[in-house]
Amino acid sequence: MLNPIAIALVKVHITPNVLSLTGIVLAFISAFLYYNEDLWLAASLLLVSGFLDALDGAVARAGRKVTKFGGFLDSLLDRYADSAVIVAIIIAGLCDLLFGLAALIGTLLVSYSRARAESEGIQMSGIGLMERAERIVLLVVASFLNVLWIAIILLALLTNVTVIHRAVYAWRNLRH
C-alpha cells in the first residue's frame, strides 16, 4: 500500500533518513502538545509521525537504500519518539503515574524483546499484540475521544503481556 508513495518520494530524492528525522521531530512536537494538553493536535502529529515511520522503510526498499545503520537509526528514533510521548503524558498528569511508568517500561521492552530475540535468530514479527503501529493507533484514538488515561492503562497491561508472550516464544525456540 505504501509502495506508490515510496516510489514517488524516491523520484523526488526524499531519503529514508529525511523521513525518519522528520518523524522524530513531529513526535517531539506531539509530546510537547501532549504536555500542554492539546490532545487533538498532539494525536494528529503522532499519527503523521507514525506514518512517516512506516514510510521510511518503504522508501529505503524502493530506492534500494536499505542499510543496517538505517534500520538501527530508525529503531533508535522510534524509542525516543515513544518515550517522549509517554513521558509527556505522564508529566502532564493525563494518566496515573504508575500506569504511565508501566506503559513506558512495557513499550520499551516490547521493542527490546524483539531486538534481543532476533539477535538470536528468532523472527518476532507479528508475535504479540502491541507492536508500534498498534500502540500509536491506541493513543491517537484515545486522544481524539478524550480517554487517554484508558489507553495508558491498556498500554500498561497489553505491552507487558506482549513482552511475556515474546519471552515465552523465545524460550520455546531457544531452549534446545
Mark whether 53 is an active-site residue.
no
Q: What's the confidence (pLDDT) of residue 1? A: 85
Give the pLDDT confidence score for residue 175 in this predicted structure.
87
Instruction: Please give the pLDDT value at position 176.
Output: 75
8 Å CB contact between 34 and 85 = yes
Q: Which amino acid is at 35?
A: Y
pLDDT band at residue 151 under the 50/70/90 scheme: very high
The predicted structure's pLDDT at residue 125: 87
CB 148 within 8 A of CB 94: yes
Question: pLDDT per residue over 86-119, tens digit each?
Answer: 999 999 999 999 999 999 999 999 999 999 999 9
User: What pLDDT score was predicted for residue 39?
Assistant: 98
∠ CA 31-128-35, nearest 5°, is 10
C-beta neighbour count of 132 within 10 angstroms: 19
pLDDT tens profile 56-92 = 999 999 999 999 999 999 999 999 999 999 999 999 9
Annotated catalytic residue: which of 56, 78, 82, 96?
Answer: 78
Tell me which CATH homologous superfamily contains domain 3-174: CDP-alcohol phosphotransferase transmembrane (TM) domain (1.20.120.1760)
